[in-house]
Structure 1
Amino acid sequence: MKNWLMSKVFCLLLLLSFTIGVYGQQYNFTSYSIENGLAQSQVYAIYQDSRGYLWIGTDGGGVSMFDGINFKNLTKQDGLSTNQIRSIFEDSKGNMWFGTKDGYLNKYDGVSFKVFDEDNGLKSSTIWSIAEDLSGNILVGTERGGLYRMKEEGFKRVKITGEDTLSRTVNALYVSKDGILWVGTRENGLYVYENPVFRNITTE
């Protein structure tokens, strides 16, 4: 009886300590704005690169790079195709990629920009997501244009389903460490690429 009671008391104390820890946790937020150097106050994308810098994509101010103290802003005057950024990604070579509201893809090597558009096979109104597969190919998820894969300097559309209208807008892309590609769509949920086909993940 005594051992049983001690066990109950121990479990109760453990539960209380866990509950207090959860509810006692506090988060301190610091607000950054244009006054602090941020390019623009409407933020659509945030990405931390391999060096620890934060890249912030804004709606009209271009891209801000934050080193923890200061902001460095990159805009159309620096070579960006447009100042309305919707997605950010760093590839395995350290290049930064920026997808824009009007469907342009910008590659930044730390010095200058290279812009990819319809002339490179990329047909889209907005670029929502960017990723890289294990072969080093850049993948781009677009608004109403579907999924694209970059080969050398050109893009080719990747057909996800037999009926393209089911996966025309790709909101999210993720490549796992083992090379599995996950594709989040607006019209038809989640897909996983199991070479050579895409499999739809449903709630059934």
Structure 2
Amino acid sequence: MPGALRRPNVVNLPDGCRASVEAPVTSDGFLDEDFVMDSQAFLCWLADYYHDDLVTLRLIVRMMGMQKPGGVVEATQTRLAELLKVKQSQISRSLKEAGQIGVVVKVKAGAYQLHPRLTLKGGRVPIEPKPGLRSQGSMKVDQLSLLDSIADNEDLPEVFRELRKLPDPEKKPLREDKARARARAAALAARPEEDRTS
């Protein structure tokens, strides 16, 4: 504040230790002004977008809770189906549809990456030791550095690397199975009364 007495913040470190000062990690204004773990804005979008698809809604929330630092979820489709008590085919469909809009991507067998613009568990991840070295260190993971690494990874689908805006829940297309059911119901309703009773 202007005119206020300014006093430096002093931190005493133990001998042999050093410290660094970093600016707060933000989401670059994608959904909200500041990044919040398990972004409330993303959770609100999930509730609206998947109001008619509880399996996908439950799956993404479950994966958010299971993620390791960096947003990686280590689980097979079979394991995810067991946890949600649904068929594996439902998990496969949900992962495919969520992948088409860039929410999640499969990085290898049994491992999925949640998009760091939406949800990210920060922290430290182990670094694999190089051949001939014994020690294994760790690396700090934050949102912006992870976004940079994903943008540079051409092996990831374009929709995942370039995600800038989530689809409008009001414009969400019907799931294929629901669209077929609605078409059958409309065709049945259009038939004459005597055809429907036979």
TM above 0.5, yes or no, is: no
- Normalising by the residue count of structure 2, what TM-score does the alignment of the two structures yield? 0.22
- After TM superposition, the score normalised by the length of structure 1 is 0.21
Quick check: which one's strand share is greater?
Answer: 1
Structure with higher RCO (Cα < 8 A, 6+ apart)? 2
More helix by share: 2
Q: Highest Rg: 1 or 2?
A: 2
